[in-house]
Amino acid sequence: MSVSRTELLRAQFELVWSLFEYHLERLEPEDFLWEPGPCTWTVRRSADGTWVPDWADTEPDPVPVPTIAWVGWHIGWWWGVALDHARGLPPRDRTEVAWPGEGTPAVEWLRDLRTRWLAVLDGLTDTALDAPARFPVPDDPGYTVAHMAAWVNTELTKNVSEIGQLRMLRAAAAVRQNH
């Protein structure tokens, strides 16, 4: 049985998403802003009530451990930009991506990104996968939509692992505190 590249990318994405759903279904509002250590990146309320992520243009040393909230914002940023590129829209700037807040708003935001990405994947043909893509590698003329879709799957896998690990660490820390 032959599988097209679009079918393979979709199947890989669905596998990653099923792993993400495992954690999304179990996240508690308190999980999102839990800081696992003293060197942490998170999102913070600004004076106007929006959430602003910690950021540095040059990666600090040591690299801060992100909170689930920060990783969620990061997913919204890079995935939103990937969606912009896939739809031929001008990509938003990092500062234009606002995290919606802990709990249900964040989970619904992430699930909406999934729905919009599936629409992109469902619209791709193997020929369309060979078209040039400028995200996330803008200066490589050989970089294609197939590369971008595979990158989305890989980046999402990494971020899902981070969120899952943070969720489990917080739960384990709570158990340890109660014993």
- For 72-129, how does the pLDDT look when each residue is reduced to its tens digit (9 = 90+)? 999 999 999 999 999 999 999 999 999 999 999 999 999 999 999 999 999 999 899 9
H helix runs in the chain, sequence order: 5-24, 29-32, 68-86, 104-122, 126-129, 145-177
Q: Is residue 46 over pLDDT 90?
A: yes
- Dist CA 133 CA 74 (whole Å): 21
> Tell me: the pLDDT tens digits for 146-167?
999 999 999 999 999 999 999 9
Q: What is the dihedral of CA 97, 92, 155, 74, to 10 degrees?
A: -20
Q: Residue 25: which domain range?
A: 5-55+62-177
Banded model confidence at residue 3, pLDDT cuts 50, 70, 90 = confident
Banded model confidence at residue 1, pLDDT cuts 50, 70, 90 = confident
Residue (of 163, 167, 162, 132) closest to 147 by Cα position: 132
Q: Are 25 and 17 in contact (CB under 8 A)?
A: no
Provide CB contacts within 8 A for 68, sequence distance 6+. Answer: 27, 31, 32, 33, 34, 163, 166, 167
- Check which CATH number belongs to the domain holding 118 and give it: 1.20.120.450
Residue (of 59, 4, 69) closest to 35 by Cα position: 69
Banded model confidence at residue 179, pLDDT cuts 50, 70, 90 = low
Q: Is residue 44 over pLDDT 70?
A: yes
Instruction: Please tell me the total count of domains within the chain.
Output: 1
Indicate whether this model's pTM tops 0.85.
Answer: yes
